[in-house]
Structure 1
Amino acid sequence: MENYRELFKEILKAYYEDVFEEKIEEIMNREDIDKKSLAKVISALCGVEVKYSDSFSEDLKIAIENYQKTKTVVVSTSSCTMNCVEIDGKIICKNACPFDAIIIDKETRIPNISMDECVNCGICIDSCDNKNFIDKVEFLPVLEMLKENEKVIAAVAPSIAGQFGENVSMGQIRAALKYIGFKDMVEVAFFADMLTIREAVEFDRHIEKEEDFLLSSCCCPIWVGMIRGRFKELVRYTSPSVSPMIAAGKVIKEINPEIKVVFIGPCVAKKGEAKMDDIKDAIDYVVTFTELKDIFEVFNIDPSKFHEELSTQYSSKGGRIYGRIGGVSIAVEDAVKEMYPDKIELFTSKQASGIKECKAMLQSALDGKTKARFLEGMGCDGGCVGGPKTIISKEKGKEFIEKYGKESKVNISVNNKIMKKFLKSIDIDSIEDFKDDKKVEIFEREL
């Protein structure tokens, strides 16, 4: 079967040129293919769920035009050959899944994903050599909105720094996205500044003595999924803050409910987070960096050729370094030092990056062995810069995140005057208002 990314570009080009149904018919009529399996792949690449039939191309077009959000992100495309048994009789994907979410049907040998256990981390996608798993690509429904000239804003993760070239600025990425049809682009780092203050308030509430500790919840859905699923006893020690991605969507829509928000980031798990019941209205679609790269290629867009379009939002160094492991801890520590100087001696932090480290740190906390007061975990090695849908290495990603942070004229979020002005539009008039439970409901969720 063709490379999925190449197939996506082929489909996207046809959709843009208004020959979509003809192209789908052509692809489905190619020789030596399993039509049912290919239909699953194509549906996923179109961001929808349509079964193969004689009217497949027509049904697909209708589904895109009438997009309905579902919880499914990772799709199993075909039966398993079972030729990769690795450990304890389990095949590679089952061993790789940190949540035991993959179930192999004994009769059909089709891998099924338990939605009760799955957090859509996407690890199974990369672990399967037979490409039996694929994550939905939601750009065609986005393109449909852009073609209708709807109000759509792109919210980009801090880890986008350097992904499209070492000399490509945020202003150039903004210009490229607006060229496609987005009304504007916002940096999620700007909303991370708001969450930093919220996390500092939570630290003050939870930490009174050396035995106390707080688990950060404001970045990684894999980390939060572990806490909620495998370490439930630790939920009461966990901050109720939403992620910066969710905060971006909620704040933007509070100001203008007509706007649709598309998050652009480095991982599959964010697609799942955007579909969680309690926060599903914040972000409408998620597009990854690799998908955006493919989109740029189809539209012949080179961000480095665009003139910068600057933003009225301006993020601090603290918000910008959220994209690498340890960034949240640094940002929150700086905020605690500014807001609660009498508590700073109690601020000790520990970080875990990658599934193995996260599990170990959570187990240590559960066993009462942790000595850190603030625990930060990210499911990807190195943090978001090590996400599976990044374009550059995690080492380069960290380097660009650091550079991006140093370029900010604001060191810590507490001193971000532009953020404070922006917050007034949602009735938060001062840093003190972050202590008002009613006013900060927009930044919270039930764990």
Structure 2
Amino acid sequence: MNKDYKNLLKKLIKSYYDDNFYEEVSNLQKETNFNEEEFKAIISSLCGIKLEQNDNLIETLRKGITNYKISAKLVEKVHSCSDSCKEESSKPRKCVASCPFNAIVEDPLSHNLLINSDLCSDCGVCVNVCEEGSFLEKIELIPLLELLKNNKNVIAIVAPAIIGQFGKDVTMDKLRTSFFKIGFKDMIEVAFAADMLTLKEAVEFDHHVKNPNDLLITSCCCPMWIAMIKKVYHSLVKDVSPSVSPMIAAARVLKFLNPEVKVVFIGPCIAKKAEAREADLVGDVDLVLTFDELKSIYDTLSINPKDLEETVSVEYASKGGRIYARAGGVSIAVGDAIEELFNEKHHLYNPKNVHGVKECKEILKDIQEGNKINANFIEGMGCIGGCVGGPKRIISKEEGLESVDKFAFSSPIKTPNNSELILDLFKRLNINSFEDLTDPKKTEIFHRKF
């Protein structure tokens, strides 16, 4: 997010806490250099709501917040482009060149760039590469503040990549305290759900792969990876593990245990917002925030996690669940589980992980065309480095990788099948053995149809 938008966002958050939100919006409308339509589009995205066509911005803003519903469209074009990012006439603009789905097209008459909504997956790559701020994703901070104000049981579920993002000395227990200060009931690591899915993926491998030529494409973690398969390489869907992501699994398990709970996911990825909006997943996660947006809240409320006391919890996530945050993590976790649960099959396990749009497209194209890839378990992540390289991270992917590995490998629980909490959660879901993980009815909570 560019500096102008960040400043606007911080002012909006502060005014909401100070209870003068609508007056501040009116003042900002007079002060900014954006025209009326641009300002309305920017406020719509920064507030995370869809605004009705109405001349009175404040009136339609009140209605939008009061009657908030998740909007199907996430990424929008908020103002016209200049030619500043077009280095050479023969080269496409950065957003056009970087779009994995060729969804940004030029209007032949106005020469303005438009988003083809039929092709767009709302991955947010264009938001990240556009230095002018022409593209903006919906930021659901105002709906979050409304959610916290009106509900007692709002749980933050945090992506494994969060460790290290707010300082090397900021532990998971200090982060938990920071979420209490914002108004959450609790904070839980999504890594616990990654652990549950690791065991399910290991069972899927045992049933799906009978010889070295069989293939299993993992569906864990990355919505951009799955969007590529669904939109471009759809003939490969049959080989995709029918599992939800750890984010969705965590939310579903928490809501199964307590139907009154509201769940907010915090991660480094715009595409996770799009995932929460998919037709078969709507309602599982109530809101999605990025690390960048969380930092805006910290800055506005003067919360510095490193200065906080720890709110200690028991250890419940394994090394395997925590390394889902980086490229190759899923492959390592599933491989470890296969070795322990299906040792006779471990010699067949031949994983390959790819990361970054270019590598993901190359391997999917090779598989689709029948080219030999010398692997039978394929893990893909759209960002280079995996989630630690997500577009809304706070620190570099190298620092993120170091922090994740240090935290994960120091976990006293090495594999999820040795976690008493994970095994107890399975029992509470009526999954009483690893064999039960092959029962589609008993594991429905972890399933989706692509």
Classify the TM-score, shorter chain. Answer: over 0.9
Identity of aligned residues (%): 46
Q: Structure 1 2/411 Cα, relative in aligned 2: closer, same or farther at 3 Å? A: closer
Q: Residue 433 of structure 1 aligns with which residue?
A: 436
Q: Residue 264 of structure 1 aligns with which residue?
A: 266
Tell me the CA shift for residue 88 of structure 1.
5.5
1:181-220 alignment runs, 5 A limit: 181-220=183-222
* 1:139 equivalent in alignment to 2:149: no
Q: Residue 5 of structure 1 aligns with which residue?
A: 6
Q: Structure 1 174/229 Cα, relative in aligned 2: closer, same or farther at 3 Å? A: same
Match among 375, 379, 383 for residue 380 of structure 1: 383
Aligned partner letter, 1:166: K
Question: Would the aligned equivalents of 1:21 and 1:58 in 2 still touch at CA under 8 Å?
Answer: no
Cα shift readout 1:243-299 (whole Å, capped 9, x = no counterpart): 000101111111112111000000100000010001112111100001101101111
1:232-251 alignment runs, 5 A limit: 232-251=234-253
Cα shift readout 1:377-400 (whole Å, capped 9, x = no counterpart): 100000000001000110010001
Cα shift readout 1:152-206 (whole Å, capped 9, x = no counterpart): 1000000001011101111111111011111111100010000001111111121
Match among 278, 294, 297 for residue 296 of structure 2: 294
Question: Would the aligned equivalents of 1:39 and 1:52 in 2 still touch at CA under 8 Å?
Answer: no
| Structure 1 residues not aligned, in runs of 5+ | none
Aligned partner letter, 1:49: K
Aligned partner letter, 2:413: V
- State the distance in 2 between where 1:113 and 1:378 align: 23
Question: Would the aligned equivalents of 1:121 and 1:268 in 2 still touch at CA under 8 Å?
Answer: yes
Q: Residue 408 of structure 1 aligns with which residue?
A: 411
What TM-score do the two structures reach when normalised by structure 2?
0.95
* 1:392 equivalent in alignment to 2:383: no
Question: Would the aligned equivalents of 2:195 and 2:321 in 1 still touch at CA under 8 Å?
Answer: yes
* 1:29 equivalent in alignment to 2:30: yes
Question: Would the aligned equivalents of 1:45 and 1:138 in 2 still touch at CA under 8 Å?
Answer: yes
Q: Residue 153 of structure 1 aligns with which residue?
A: 155
Match among 364, 370, 374 for residue 371 of structure 1: 374
SS in 2 for 1:3: helix
SS in 1 for 2:59: helix
Cα shift readout 1:356-389 (whole Å, capped 9, x = no counterpart): 0111111122233111111111000000000010
Q: Please identify, of 53-62 and 179-188, the stretch whose mean Cα deviation from structure 2 is larger.
A: 53-62
Tell me the CA shift for residue 42 of structure 1.
1.2
Q: Structure 1 80/106 Cα, relative in aligned 2: closer, same or farther at 3 Å? A: farther
Query: C-alpha root-mean-square deviation of aligned residues, in Å?
Result: 1.7
SS in 1 for 2:156: strand
1:60-209 alignment runs, 5 A limit: 60-81=61-82, 84-85=85-86, 90-107=92-109, 109-209=111-211
- State the distance in 2 between where 1:158 and 1:21 align: 36
Cα shift readout 1:317-358 (whole Å, capped 9, x = no counterpart): 000000000000000001111111111001011111100011
- State the distance in 1 between where 2:84 and 2:22 align: 36
Q: Structure 1 265/87 Cα, relative in aligned 2: closer, same or farther at 3 Å? A: farther
- State the distance in 2 between where 1:434 and 1:358 align: 29
SS in 1 for 2:214: coil
Question: Would the aligned equivalents of 2:192 and 2:317 in 1 still touch at CA under 8 Å?
Answer: yes
Aligned partner letter, 1:35: E
- State the distance in 1 between where 2:61 and 2:354 align: 42
| Structure 2 residues not aligned, in runs of 5+ | none
SS in 2 for 1:155: strand
Match among 281, 284, 287 for residue 282 of structure 1: 284
- State the distance in 2 between where 1:111 and 1:152 align: 39
Q: How many residues align?
A: 447
Q: Please identify, of 121-130 and 209-218, the stretch whose mean Cα deviation from structure 2 is larger.
A: 121-130
1:50-69 alignment runs, 5 A limit: 50=51, 53-69=54-70
Tell me the CA shift for residue 302 of structure 1.
1.1
SS in 1 for 2:31: coil
Tell me the CA shift for residue 426 of structure 1.
1.8
Q: Please identify, of 263-272 and 149-158, the stretch whose mean Cα deviation from structure 2 is larger.
A: 149-158
- State the distance in 2 between where 1:88 and 1:232 align: 32
Q: Structure 1 107/17 Cα, relative in aligned 2: closer, same or farther at 3 Å? A: farther
Question: Would the aligned equivalents of 1:78 and 1:110 in 2 still touch at CA under 8 Å?
Answer: no
Q: Please identify, of 246-255 and 42-51, the stretch whose mean Cα deviation from structure 2 is larger.
A: 42-51
Give 4+ residue runs of structure 1 displaced > 6 Å after superposition.
none
Q: Please identify, of 413-422 and 317-326, the stretch whose mean Cα deviation from structure 2 is larger.
A: 413-422
Match among 270, 273, 276 for residue 275 of structure 2: 273
Question: Would the aligned equivalents of 2:52 and 2:64 in 1 still touch at CA under 8 Å?
Answer: no
Aligned partner letter, 2:397: K
Aligned partner letter, 1:113: I
- State the distance in 1 between where 2:115 and 2:277 align: 16
